Amino acid sequence: MSTLMKALASAKIFLAVLLLMSLGVFVGLMLGTGYNGSEETVSATPITPQAAPVAPLASESLESPFVSVAQKVLPAVVNVDTKRRVSYGGFDLDQGPYGDFFRRLFPQMPDQEVEVPTYGSGFIFDEDGHILTNNHVVRDAEEIVITLHDGTEYYAELVGRDAATDIAVVKIDPEGYIPALTFGDSDAMRVGDWVVAVGNPFHELEGTLTVGVISAKGRSDLRIAGGAPIYQSFIQTDASINYGNSGGPLCNIRGEAIGINSAINPSGQGIGFAIPINLAKKISDQLISNGEVVRGYLGILPQELTDDLAEGMGVEGRNGIIVGSVESGTPAEDSGLEEGDIIVEFNGVEVEDVDQFRMLVADTPVDSRVPIEVLRDGDEKTLTATLARRPQDFASATTGTRQNEDWLGVDVHRVDSDVARELEVREGQGVVIVDVRAGSPAESAGLGRGDIILSVGDAEVDGVREFERALRDAYDESIKESEGRRKAKPIVFLVQRQGRTMFVPIRPPKD
């Protein structure tokens, strides 16, 4: 076969293959567009991208999830109105060396007390009519009136109050059924969880509900409006809390109480604090059962183990607290604890910081024998302490029980070497005031932090125990000598301030 014939044969084969391929592509296109042999069905369906499904922003009813919380919580929230008597004016014509002078100069000024109303919130937590609120809401109250959500009013009885945690329980005798809140678990709440605060801000906006989240937990060492309780582990929230909200519930999304709205920070914006309900439940159980709170007592001044202190003491990488001082005649002294010891474990629980340690000691039953693991000069030691009852506690079932140091409204510490050096005073003489509670007789008399109390009445003071004993004795004597009189006899304190001494008369309250 010639070369030309071979080329023509190859071209025919190539064209045949090309034709078959074209036919295959055409059939494929027809099938892909739905061609079934009928002109009516020949159409091209455009392909468009499919949008991702969008989750609904709300339920079909567009109802807020907080509506059901409000319906559950609001009926159990109450108004707490109290009345207490306070001295009128800035001085008393009967007391002090200038009493006669003031009486001659202002003979028209009355020597009297005035009745001052205070307002707050609370919430019912059982069908017996027990109500949780703040201690500072009902402190020194001569009359407590509870107003329910439906406007019904009751006179309330003070079951007990605890200044150390700012918790109080009052009780009404309801007629028939009353709504009550259930307790949630404050330990299970997390930063970022939704919360609802309910109360009566400004005593004018009853039943106000605000929404926010938990912004922090375990807040302590706070100077806050409403007082500064000794035991602090506040829940911090951005749900609006204002004056008058104190005592109302902080609730979770299920409408369970997980805290007691307690205070606001005057220097902050949109920050409020609530007492964890797990702590409040323990306190309320004791108040209902015993009318008071009994706490364990060790007898040391605990100090935080900072990074710098840990490095300087050669105990880096260890948790714990430092024993700043040991009070004489206390379980701490009997156990062999010494200044400078680092407590790393208490009763089998690892110690993390001062606030946690205080709670551990307070929650331990009185007369319990507990092991204490300490580091001393780099060596580990196990000591044993038998806890006593904390002497500073005041949780009375009646407003008239004041026979201890709480009526004055101060927290004091012995004048140790550090305090003496800082304040430039003599070590071991007197006690230094470390805190003055708002609205207390001490605050009214002008006492402040850093003042040193040298004597109470005729008794000199050289330690905390002596101060407490002198204060109780002076109170008993004042009440005894004031029988038949409307007011108690003033107690004279010798106080040192910035190197100068002065006498300060303070009249204890008399019920």
More confident residue, 402 or 10: 10
Which of the four pLDDT bands, split at 50, 70 and 90, describes residue 12? low
pLDDT at 32: 46
Burial class (CB in 10 A: 0-12, 13-18, 19+), 439: middle
Q: Is the pLDDT of residue 24 over 50?
A: yes
SS (H, E, C) 443-484: HHCCCCCCCEEEEECCEECCCHHHHHHHHHHHHHHHHHHCCC
pLDDT at 14: 52
CA distances for 505 relative to 184, 194, 457, 488, angstroms: 47, 50, 9, 12
Q: Is the pLDDT of residue 481 over 70?
A: yes
pLDDT at 228: 62
Q: Is the pLDDT of residue 398 over 90?
A: no
Return d(Cα 270, Cα 509) in angstroms, integer.
37
CB 437 within 8 A of CB 227: yes
pLDDT at 401: 30
In this structure, which topology does domain 296-389 adopt according to CATH?
Pdz3 Domain (2.30.42)
Return d(Cα 430, Cα 246) in angstroms, integer.
36
More confident residue, 35 or 459: 459
- Of 25-39, 84-98, 324-338, the range with the highest mean pLDDT is 324-338
At 443-454, the pLDDT tens digits run 888 888 888 999
Average pLDDT on 432-448 reads 84
Q: Is the pLDDT of residue 358 over 70?
A: yes
CB 360 within 8 A of CB 351: yes
Average pLDDT on 103-130 reads 69
Residues whose CB is less than 8 angstroms from the CB of residue 187 and which lie 6 or more positions away in sequence, other chains included: 276, 278
Average pLDDT on 61-81 reads 88
Judge whether 296-389 and 405-506 match in fold.
yes
At 262-278, the pLDDT tens digits run 866 655 567 889 999 99
Which amino acid is residue 470, in one-letter code? A
DSSP secondary structure string for all residues of 95-109: SSTTHHHHHHH-TTS
In this structure, which topology does domain 76-171 adopt according to CATH?
Thrombin, subunit H (2.40.10)
End-to-end Cα separation, the chain, in angstroms: 138
Residue showing tokens 């002596």: 466
In this structure, which topology does domain 405-506 adopt according to CATH?
Pdz3 Domain (2.30.42)
pLDDT at 310: 83
pLDDT at 241: 83
Q: Is the pLDDT of residue 6 over 80?
A: no
Q: Is the pLDDT of residue 99 over 80?
A: no
| 67-71, 112-116, 143-147, 429-433: segment of lowest average pLDDT | 112-116
Cβ neighbour number for residue 406 with a 10 Å cutoff: 20
Return d(Cα 172, Cα 212) in angstroms, integer.
31
Strands 452-456 and 431-436, how do they pair? antiparallel
Helix (H) or strand (E) holding 413: strand 410-414
pLDDT at 374: 96
Residue showing tokens 């340690």: 357
Strands 272-276 and 257-264, how do they pair? antiparallel
- Of 23-27, 52-56, 330-334, 507-511, the range with the highest mean pLDDT is 330-334
Q: Is the pLDDT of residue 163 over 50?
A: yes
DSSP secondary structure string for all residues of 333-396: HHHT--TT-EEEEETTEE--SHHHHHHHHHHSPTT-EEEEEEEETTEEEEEEEE-EE-TT----
pLDDT at 18: 47
- Span 186-290 CATH architecture: Beta Barrel (2.40)
Asked whether the whole model's pTM tops 0.85, one would answer no
pLDDT at 380: 92
Give the ranges where 121-198 is alpha helix by DSSP (H). 135-138
Q: Is the pLDDT of residue 16 over 80?
A: no
| 52-61, 400-409, 462-471: segment of lowest average pLDDT | 52-61
At 292-347, the pLDDT tens digits run 899 999 999 888 888 878 888 788 778 899 998 888 889 999 999 998 899 999 99
More confident residue, 201 or 293: 293
Q: Is the pLDDT of residue 412 over 50?
A: yes
- Of 283-292, 301-310, 432-441, the range with the highest mean pLDDT is 283-292
pLDDT at 469: 86
More confident residue, 250 or 427: 250
| 5-9, 286-290, 334-338: segment of lowest average pLDDT | 5-9
What are the residue boundaries of the structural domains of the chain, listed by start?
76-171, 186-290, 296-389, 405-506
> Catalytic amino acids?
136, 166, 246
More confident residue, 195 or 50: 195
Return d(Cα 435, Cα 40) in angstroms, integer.
94
Quick check: helix, strand or coil at residue 5? helix
More confident residue, 498 or 464: 464
pLDDT at 315: 82
| 24-33, 116-125, 169-178, 471-480: segment of lowest average pLDDT | 24-33
pLDDT at 180: 95
Average pLDDT of the chain is: 78
More confident residue, 28 or 64: 64
pLDDT at 86: 53
pLDDT at 375: 94
The backbone region for 329, taken as left when phi is positive above 0, alpha when psi lies in -120 to 50, beta otherwise, is left
More confident residue, 218 or 399: 218
pLDDT at 97: 38
Return d(Cα 320, Cα 304) in angstroms, integer.
8
- Of 15-19, 90-94, 218-222, 466-470, the range with the highest mean pLDDT is 466-470
